[in-house]
Amino acid sequence: MSAVPTIAHNKITNAAQLPLQVMAMYPEQTALLLLNKLDETKKSNKAISYGQLNQHVQQLQQALTQYGFKPKDRVVVLLRPSINLYALLIALLSLGLIAVFVDPKMGSKRIGQTLRKSHCLAIVGERRLLRWRWLMPTLWQIPAVSIEELLQTSPQQTAQQARTNPFLDCSDNDNALITYTSGSTGLPKGAARTHQSLITQHQALQRLWRDQPGTTVMTQLPVMALHFLSSGVSTLFVNLNGNRLTPNQLQQLMQKAKQQNVTRIIGFPRLVEILTRHLLAKEQTWTEINYIAIGGCSVSVRLCRQMKLAFPNARIEVIYGATEAEPITSVSIDEVINESSPNGYLVGKPASVAEVLIVPTMDSATGLDEGTLLARKLPPGVIGEVLVKGPHVIKQYVDNEELTQSLKVPTADGQVWHRTGDTGYFDGRGRLWLTGRIKDIIELADMTIYPYPLECRVEMLPGVINGILVACRGKATLALVASAKANRQHIADEVQRICHQLEVPLPRLSWMNQLPFDRRHHSKVDRQLLRQQLS
């Protein structure tokens, strides 16, 4: 059995170096507090210091080595957000192993097919989750070990190794993480992140968010925990469904956050929106919060105005990014609020690490070279599809060269231009405005309609809760959700006025009690399901 390597480094070559350094520097500081229940009597909330996490990682490093795992082995991780998940992730990365995550929304059949073709050598998961593996015959041939079994492995290390966390040198192109999602076509899409792309992403987010060791952040974003652990902040991870929280429970959540000295909130808009509504209904403010960053879906002007009232001392930003590139741009909500007649959603100027390009929409980038792409660059004010380039951008999809060529244009410096799937334009101040997903563009006989310009103006109208524009039966349909006291005729008149301003035909209005949202975060409207409901 090979010994765990110990290597001295100055240059950061492994994404695990960052959290390992933090663990050594701040052993007494809280690293993670997972809030699974608001009722403390159930003892389901788990906290761990950086020093304790360090010991946890060491134990898993040793166990993985004893099990015979080698650098570049692909290991499927079947763990829910937990201390074990992040300790295992750091241990895998430190040893040069590749952590593989699969979106559970893909369904059991497609998950089995994906993993069978993924060249994964093992599965590590919770014991009770691994029991379900026997219902998926495609997984029977992949060896599995429970996290509980790994943690029970007898340590076989020297005193020096116990004091020093090892990590393996990795090249710029060595993969660290592979994340499989269903993709827009429904086919599995494996996004591969290298160690260097993770390091660059961390550095870009740190500049953007200005993380300071010793501060506490509240989040619902599992994927960002590695960044926070690399920054030396304490993370309150809210593993709760905000939509199901009662006013009393929301008050409890805020109280727990204040007890943990939370000063920053970073995550999807939905939780912040729920907290904002609660604060304003109670005529309260949360003055301890000094920074909020939200992203992952469009953010309305109304929510921006409400957040300024509920969090009067906070610097609040909207972050635009993608699975393949995070961050892309950012903007202060003050800028968003100051735009009285927006033509889309303002997402701001490119991050320091990113370059953004607007070109005419295309079906595929296969065979396209960078010179031809750059020659198609559109001037400010003209809508096209959004591409992004930077050292943090994922360069390829695992074992899917066809998809890689369709969505990536290689550059002379070894990077790629990534097609985000969004449309938008630059204004005269170099700020990016989004106008809708390419797949949501409405093509009529004599006109192309982009949904966001109309939607963002409609959602500014008094009484309108949601307004989503989709194509249904060959016609543009505006699905509207309004408050109980809203004047529907006045809203209809205002929609007609807005359409005249935007020079687009008046869509059919469909009044609805509620819109279908994504099940996981309840932040994005499920437009495909909405089209089905309207049909």
- The predicted model gives 304-308 an average pLDDT of 97
> For residue 520, what pLDDT is reported?
64
pLDDT at 4: 34
pLDDT tens-digit map of 58-100:
999 999 999 999 999 999 999 988 999 999 999 999 999 999 9
pLDDT score recorded for residue 111: 80
What element of type H or E holds 52?
A: helix 50-66
Residue 361 is predicted with a pLDDT of: 97
Domain positions in the chain are: 17-170, 441-534
HSE-CB of 52 using CA atoms within 13 angstroms: 12
Q: Which residues pair with 293 in a beta bridge?
A: 266, 317
The first and second tokens of residue 440, run together, are: 């949501």
Is the model more confident about 190 or about 382?
382
**Rounded-to-5 percentages of helix, strand, coil across the chain:** 35, 25, 40
Mean pLDDT of 110-128: 85
> Phi-psi category of 387—alpha, beta or left, where left has phi over 0 and alpha has psi -120 to 50?
beta
Q: Which pLDDT score, from 0 to 100, does residue 281 have?
A: 95
CATH architecture for residues 441-534:
2-Layer Sandwich (3.30)
472 exposure class (CB count in 10 Å sphere: 0-12, 13-18, 19+)? buried
Q: Is the pLDDT of residue 348 over 80?
A: yes
pLDDT at 445 over 90: no
**Class of CATH domain 17-170:** alpha beta
Confidence of residue 39 (pLDDT cuts 50, 70, 90): low
Identify which of 460, 150, 418 has the alpha carbon closest to the alpha carbon of residue 303: 460
The confidence score (pLDDT) of residue 118 equals 81
As a whole number, mean pLDDT of residues 185-200 equals 84
Could you say which DSSP state residue 397 is in? B
Would you give the end-to-end CA distance of the chain in angstroms? 62
Of 208, 203, 248, the C-alpha closest to 227 is 203
pLDDT given for residue 103 in this prediction: 82
Residues 329-357 have a mean pLDDT of 96
- Give the tens place of pLDDT for each residue, 396-436: 998 889 999 999 999 999 999 999 999 999 999 999 999 99
Q: Which residue is listed with tokens 């998950």?
A: 111
Q: What is the mean pLDDT of residues 344-361?
A: 97
pLDDT at 9: 44
pLDDT, tens digit, 9 for 90 and up, residues 217-276: 999 988 898 999 999 999 999 988 767 788 889 999 999 999 999 999 999 898 999 999
Those residues with Cβ within 8 angstroms of residue 27's Cβ, 6 or more apart along the chain or in another chain? 49, 50, 51, 54
Lowest pLDDT segment from 128-142, 191-205, 494-508: 128-142
Q: Which two tokens stand for residue 187?
A: 């086919």
CA torsion sign for 201, 344, 182, 398 is: negative
> What are 171's two structure tokens?
């090249």
Q: Name the pLDDT band for 6 (thresholds 50, 70, 90).
A: very low
From residue 193, alpha-carbon distances to 60, 207, 267, 356, 363 in Å are: 22, 20, 21, 20, 25
Average pLDDT over residues 343-359: 97
Q: Is the pLDDT of residue 473 over 80?
A: yes
132-142 in b/e form (b: 16+ CB < 10 A) is ebeebebbeeb
Q: Tell me phi and psi for residue 450, to 5 degrees.
A: -95, 130
Contacts of residue 305, Cβ cutoff 8 Å, sequence gap at least 6: 337
In this prediction, residues 25-31 reach a mean pLDDT of 96
- pLDDT at res. 221: 87
User: How far apart (Å, rounded) are the C-alpha atoms in residues 443 and 410?
Assistant: 30
The pLDDT value given to residue 41: 55
Please state, rounded to an integer, the average pLDDT across all residues of the chain: 90
CA distance 429 to 419: 23
| Tally of CB atoms within 10 A around 379 | 9
